[in-house]
Amino acid sequence: MSLVQSQIESFEQNGYLVLDNFVSHEECNKLRVRASEIVNDFDYNQSVTIFTTNEQTRHSDLFFLESGDKIRCFFEEEAFDENGKLKQPKELSINKIGHAMHDLDPIFDSFSRTEELETVAKDVGFEDPRILQSMYIFKQPKIGGEVSCHQDATFLYTEPVSVKGFWFALEDASKENGCMWVIPGGHRYNLKSRFYRNKKGNGTEIEILDGSKWETSKMVPLEVNAGTMVILHGLLPHMSYANRSNLTRHAFTMHLIEASADYPEWNWLQRNSDLPLRGF
């Protein structure tokens, strides 16, 4: 599946591209079933890590920092009550699974590495793409947390900036259940911040490069059907609101970088040398 010139130009102009029906509902269901199995096997008594993009520094513990070459589950910020008990069943309390599913799990590996994806990746500017990380995002009913406005290059920094997100809707995404919002053309902004490991390597910090506020009045919702793929430029501002509905909003996302780009060792996401980055 090659992109036509008008699609390439739309991506270059807007910083994102929506591709309807890129994957089948059968493929979406395979990922949903496998994610359910991973969560079912997850013993959260061993480690409880809460994920939120609003307080990155507080919640960047070693369980999170050492997940670049592993498959780990992270809870929603509102998953637990004041007594430390889950408000909902475990399967409705996990925020996401990350971050090496595409390398370590056969189902996700097969989904992530296809000729169609490689072709599209090169159509949007990659010469030799590498899959850096992957996440299964649940956006749970009632407690699915807001993802504050951000640029992916803040968290996955390369020189030059090369990261792009490939986001797959595994269920219908609407304003009701917390769909993604973007600022069209916002990829022309400079990088506003960098998220990095502290010098001790046991936590993270954020360096503010530009303290101006996002022009959120320009944001538009991406309401899409299951099977849709959305490509996001690494500098494109995007976010999602909290999910207060009774619906889930499952999605799978991968972030790719250029093989020739420099990936600093101070980036939060690192992996062991025995699991090198691979392409398609």
Please, where are the H alpha helices in the chain?
Answer: 5-14, 25-41, 62-65, 101-104, 106-112, 115-123, 152-155
Provide the pairing of β-strand 129-137 with 94-99. antiparallel
Of 70, 48, 49, give the one whose Cα is nearest residue 133.
70
Q: For the structural domain made of 5-258, what CATH number should be given?
A: 2.60.120.620
State the Cα–Cα distance between residues 143 and 248, nearest whole angstrom: 10
Contact call for residues 241 and 181 (beta carbons, < 8 A) = yes
Q: Output DSSP code: residue 241.
A: -
State the Cα–Cα distance between residues 268 and 280, nearest whole angstrom: 24
Q: What is the pTM of this model?
A: 0.93
Tokens of 214: 């996002």
pLDDT digits (tens, 9 = 90+) for 141-173: 999 999 999 999 999 999 999 999 999 999 999
What tens-digit pLDDT sequence spans the chain (280 residues)? 799 999 999 999 999 999 999 999 999 999 999 999 999 999 876 555 555 555 444 445 788 899 999 999 999 989 988 888 899 999 999 999 999 999 999 999 999 999 999 999 999 999 999 999 999 999 999 999 999 999 999 999 999 999 999 999 999 999 999 999 999 999 999 999 999 998 888 888 999 999 999 999 999 999 999 999 999 999 999 999 999 999 999 999 999 999 999 999 999 999 999 999 999 9
pLDDT digits (tens, 9 = 90+) for 61-97: 788 899 999 999 999 989 988 888 899 999 999 999 9
Provide the pairing of β-strand 204-208 with 129-137. unpaired
Show me where the domains of the chain are located: 5-258
